[in-house]
Structure 1
Amino acid sequence: MTLTTSFYNWGTPSDVGDGENVRRNSTLICVPIMAKTVDKMLVEVRKAKQEGADMVELRLDYLNSINPCDLQVLLEHSCLSTLVTIRPTWEGGDYKGDEGVRQSALRKAMELGADYIDVELKVADEFFESIDGRENTKTAIIVSSHNYINTPSVEEIGDLVARIQATGADIVKIATTAIDIVDNSRILQLLTYSQIPMIGIVMGEKGLMSRILSAKYGGFLTFATLEDRGSISAPGQPTTKDLLELYNFRQVGADTKVHGVLGNPISHSKSPHLYNVAFKSVGFNGIYLPLLVDSVSDFLRTYSSPDFVGYSYTIPHKMAGLECCDEVDPIAKAIGAISCMIKRPFDGKLIGYNIDYMGAIAAIEEGLLQGTSNGSSTKGSPFDGKLMVVIGAGGAGKALAYGGKSKGARIVITDSIIEKAVDLASKVGGKVINIAELDDFAPEEGMILANATPIGMQPDIDNMPISKKALKHYSLVFDAIYTPKITKLLREAQKSGATIVYGTEMFINQAFIQFEKFTGLPGEYQEINRFLLELQRNL
């Protein structure tokens, strides 16, 4: 399926503002307010305004009780546009009371001047029949359908849209659940072609892209939660701060280029924090998303639009990414894995690169030089002649083994799957040891250890791939993990007297190269450098 771009604008005008603050879309940010009392609701409404929301959804189903006086107070004192919702338990909400009372409260909200109300499709016909004319109300009626199990086919969702429109709805709302990240495409496609205002949301972590890209494809609004509130109204809901500051939501437009990092898991990735700020700093019209992908080939086949242009690859997709390339850089082909993919603009071919080895090897070389007595450089590479033990024979391990070998190191590979280690060792001319032998492996002192596994990554921060006693044989220890910055492996290696090299060093080094490939712009901008250094300190 190829997604195209919608040019419908249902809300405030796009292209409003000046300079880098230009607003390129009309999609509204709506914050659900789910407090149990009127006073707390009004406090949260004010917070929503402070955080930059356009409107609030007053979730009256969460109030301890609903009465006309409280509703009047909420509507009169709200400092933002209001959407009144009383979601029943049978549609995923918290209201357990009488249906007649619920619909009566929605009619009262219209009478009191609510900007919008939400009525579920199941009772929409009944509700519209109960309204005695709509000439004297300014309230727009959203008719909604929520699917907490999956995302139906395009045809089924299309039929659903038609049914909602037939009720007389002013705005269509459809919320589904992502089983796979490709499910988002069906909702985004409907947003593109909708002839009336539409809210299209895919719930769950795999549905995050739908909430952000609704701005690109013409969605009427998207939902976001308050920064310091733990509760959300639907799975996968981002914060207002993330939408505005991390994803530059106001600057996403119909022509915005989409980039992202493909991985599983992916919530730990700091790449969106880096590239979105870097894009904004140079005025590049692009967005960078965390993409929780199960199948690389399915993802690339689904999001084949020319606007989906560049990806980073992380665990476990570096090798699968290579298999999906139309062309592969010779170095990446030798390694057998990619870390970066670019869609070539003139023919749409997918070109794969491996940038990890450059970032990692440069960082380790710097650490080896610092570990010498005077810190001065020696003739050739500091890797030359050293024994380098690489734990893990996946994409990152291949990059490290290839890079170390190219610099003159002798390579030893270990992996929990011995066949993978044997295969990699044969390609780089290295040796293999069983992972069970790793703790007692000490043929010489002053070895280099490189961890290329996720052992020790959040939330598994109390584990390490090698015992404490074995660390005394290594002069330098590198961990490709960068969340947390100081892993248990690095902490124990430092105690043993080894020089340690953070995964953030690799992350920062390869970022400059990848930024250039994404944007076509040189990466030595002062602002980008400042941000990368700041990120390194904070990770």
Structure 2
Amino acid sequence: MKKSSTMICAPLMAETIEKMVIQMHQAKAQGADVVEIRLDCVLDFQPRNDLETILRNKPLPVIFVFRPKQDGGLYVGDQQARVEALHLAAELGADYVECDLMVASKLVEENKINRNGHRKIIVSSYVNGVTPSEEELSQIVASMQSTGADIVKLVINAADITELPRIFHLLSCCQVPLIAYSSGERGLISQILSPKYGGFLVYGSIEGDSVPGIPTLVNLREAYKVHCINEETKVFGLVSKPVGHSKGPLLHNPVFRHSNFNGVYVPMLVDDLLKFFNVYPSPDFVGFSVGIPYKEAVIGFCDEVHPLAQSIAAANTIIRRPSDGELIGYNTDCEAAITAIEDALLKEHISINGKTSLSPPLNGKMFVLVGAGGAGRALAFGARSRGAHVVVFDIDYDRAKSLACAVNGEVRRFEDLDKFQPKKGAILANATPIGMHPSTDRIPVSDASLGDYQLVFDSVYNPKKTRLLKEAEVAGAIVVSGVEMFLRQAVGQFNLFTDGQQAPVEFMREIIWEKF
């Protein structure tokens, strides 16, 4: 597979030179190719002594940055002193020196006069507020190029993920080496996908010193394998809000590589589905997982919907058909959850009776469902298809009532859940985010009621074993983790993402139990 030439850079913002030196070695050990030294973060900065100490002890190339406050830095002192410090860094043999557009011409010219052949000047611009248009961003880049910069750097703070294609366009057409990305959580994919569009470098934070919107060095190297991302890499994304809890990238990316499939799976924090699908028709983005809270609404943005997803009225997977670019919606949640529950019931039956039951394990059982959103709909339709009687609880009574009618079940008010008396052998299924990291101490029902259920299923998979499952196990119920559902629905997604290539199920299971 063609390797990317994009370097991985670790931004270091320690308050002392001693800690900067320590962090440089940590960055190298964690896979950085270069480090960015933020001089404006150093307390009582002594230019010559401190710069010489860093250069004498550097284990890998360094970029010196002395960022003023107006560009998001900490420096508020004399402008001339800042420029002199950067000029000194260049004289002392820095690999790279970054300066802002305001002082770039002077620093570039001085560096050319005294150049020793290898140091490079990075001219940067930090755009605050509303993200400019593609044309305006191109003009900013042209202004930086005109200074004679070796490398140009453009940073925006995108308010919406739909602004990021402007960055991708700049990266793919710029005539000089370009660093371009958006800060913040909504800009995360501008870092990860930089190698695909030819970015000069991508930023990754060292473990224990995280920076919002910047993946860790370990994730860039191990989870995303950014050095393997190239212009031919197909992009798959999780469309959700929030996305920080998702373990999808930790599973799908290793499986792509294991299967020799040139793809990358990224988290995409989406605020507005209409804006998103208007802006991301690019053939580069060939498939999406769909998470909270969009599994129902996303149906309206598909050109076609698979019959199962159509009947459930919820999709968790979208594929862009190569022949015409149309979006096709699927639901892999339904079979994933129901087969996980059925297999647990069959295993229990065999352990007690020594033989397999001839009747479907859910047939005739009461299926108590908490949550009537996208995951809840998948569970309800799956349970009904197996002959179960579905009882729906949801904070939104009208939504619960609508789902109950769709599956010929019954609806109950959410506040009555704790005192609800299920039939013997009933199943309890949580299809809400209650209990998800970081609010792991929450539980959708009372502890006392858990003893009334034969089996308790939780769609939450982070943490692996939720408080609901722990309490249900103590109460004597069979428990099924959302991890098993996650695995099975991911198997279905992989088969769709790769146009029918069979997923390596056991390899996926090993990853889940090792990494999650």
Q: TM-score range by the shorter chain?
A: over 0.9
Q: 2:3 aligned to 18, 24, 34, which one? A: 24
Aligned residue for 1:444, secondary structure, equals: coil
Q: In the alignment, which residue of structure 2 is the partner of 1:297?
A: 274
Distance 1:344 1:93, change over 3 A: same
- 1:404 aligns to 2:383 (yes or no): yes
C-alpha deviation, 1:511, in angstroms = 1.8
C-alpha deviation, 1:357, in angstroms = 0.6
User: 1:68-147 to 2 correspondence within 5 Å?
Assistant: 68-128=48-108, 133=113, 135-136=115-116, 138-147=118-127
C-alpha deviation, 1:93, in angstroms = 1.4
User: 1:384-463 to 2 correspondence within 5 Å?
Assistant: 384-463=363-442
- 1:195 aligns to 2:205 (yes or no): no
C-alpha deviation, 1:538, in angstroms = 4.9
Q: In the alignment, which residue of structure 2 is the partner of 1:175?
A: 155
- 1:366 aligns to 2:353 (yes or no): no
Aligned residue for 1:497, secondary structure, equals: coil
Letter in 2 for 1:371: E
Note if contact 2:437-2:463 (Cα within 8 Å) is conserved in structure 1: yes
In 1, the alpha carbon distance for the partners of 2:111 and 2:514 equals: 59
User: 1:511-522 to 2 correspondence within 5 Å?
Assistant: 511-522=490-501
Letter in 2 for 1:189: H
In 2, the alpha carbon distance for the partners of 1:312 and 1:39 equals: 44
Note if contact 2:162-2:279 (Cα within 8 Å) is conserved in structure 1: yes
Letter in 2 for 1:506: M
Q: In the alignment, which residue of structure 2 is the partner of 1:334?
A: 311
C-alpha deviation, 1:42, in angstroms = 2.1
Q: In the alignment, which residue of structure 2 is the partner of 1:488?
A: 467
Aligned residue for 1:318, secondary structure, equals: coil
User: 1:135-284 to 2 correspondence within 5 Å?
Assistant: 135-136=115-116, 138-227=118-207, 229-232=208-211, 235-284=212-261
Distance 1:413 1:286, change over 3 A: same
Q: In the alignment, which residue of structure 1 is the partner of 2:292?
A: 315
In 2, the alpha carbon distance for the partners of 1:138 and 1:537 equals: 44
Note if contact 1:450-1:478 (Cα within 8 Å) is conserved in structure 2: yes
- Cα shift readout 1:447-469 (whole Å, capped 9, x = no counterpart): 11111111111111111111112
**Deviates further, 268-277 or 515-524:** 515-524
- Cα shift readout 1:364-383 (whole Å, capped 9, x = no counterpart): 00122233323643223110
C-alpha deviation, 1:41, in angstroms = 1.9
In 1, the alpha carbon distance for the partners of 2:423 and 2:491 equals: 36
Note if contact 2:98-2:121 (Cα within 8 Å) is conserved in structure 1: yes
Q: In the alignment, which residue of structure 2 is the partner of 1:533?
A: 510
C-alpha deviation, 1:163, in angstroms = 2.0
**Deviates further, 147-156 or 108-117:** 147-156
Distance 1:70 1:505, change over 3 A: same
Q: In the alignment, which residue of structure 1 is the partner of 2:36?
A: 57
C-alpha deviation, 1:424, in angstroms = 0.9
Note if contact 1:110-1:137 (Cα within 8 Å) is conserved in structure 2: no
Distance 1:375 1:137, change over 3 A: same
In 1, the alpha carbon distance for the partners of 2:214 and 2:179 equals: 14
Letter in 1 for 2:47: N
C-alpha deviation, 1:533, in angstroms = 3.0
- 1:378 aligns to 2:321 (yes or no): no
Letter in 1 for 2:187: G
Q: In the alignment, which residue of structure 1 is the partner of 2:327?
A: 350
Aligned residue for 1:388, secondary structure, equals: strand
In 2, the alpha carbon distance for the partners of 1:441 and 1:97 equals: 67
Q: In the alignment, which residue of structure 2 is the partner of 1:509?
A: 488
Note if contact 2:183-2:213 (Cα within 8 Å) is conserved in structure 1: yes
Letter in 1 for 2:242: P
- Cα shift readout 1:96-139 (whole Å, capped 9, x = no counterpart): 33221111111111111112111112333454566683555532
In 1, the alpha carbon distance for the partners of 2:437 and 2:26 equals: 31
Distance 1:129 1:26, change over 3 A: closer
In 2, the alpha carbon distance for the partners of 1:223 and 1:534 equals: 26
Q: In the alignment, which residue of structure 2 is the partner of 1:10?
A: none
Note if contact 1:341-1:353 (Cα within 8 Å) is conserved in structure 2: yes
Q: In the alignment, which residue of structure 2 is the partner of 1:497?
A: 476
Letter in 2 for 1:111: E
Letter in 2 for 1:87: R
Distance 1:538 1:174, change over 3 A: closer
Note if contact 1:513-1:523 (Cα within 8 Å) is conserved in structure 2: no
In 2, the alpha carbon distance for the partners of 1:536 and 1:407 equals: 29
**Deviates further, 367-376 or 280-289:** 367-376
In 1, the alpha carbon distance for the partners of 2:16 and 2:52 equals: 14
RMSD over aligned Cα atoms: 1.8
Note if contact 1:258-1:286 (Cα within 8 Å) is conserved in structure 2: yes
- Cα shift readout 1:253-290 (whole Å, capped 9, x = no counterpart): 00000002111111111111111000000111000001
C-alpha deviation, 1:523, in angstroms = 2.8
In 1, the alpha carbon distance for the partners of 2:89 and 2:422 equals: 78
Structure 2 stretches lacking a partner, 5+ long: none
Number of positions where the alignment pairs a residue of Structure 1 with one of Structure 2: 513
Q: Normalising by structure 2, what TM-score?
A: 0.95
In 1, the alpha carbon distance for the partners of 2:269 and 2:496 equals: 22
Note if contact 1:390-1:413 (Cα within 8 Å) is conserved in structure 2: yes
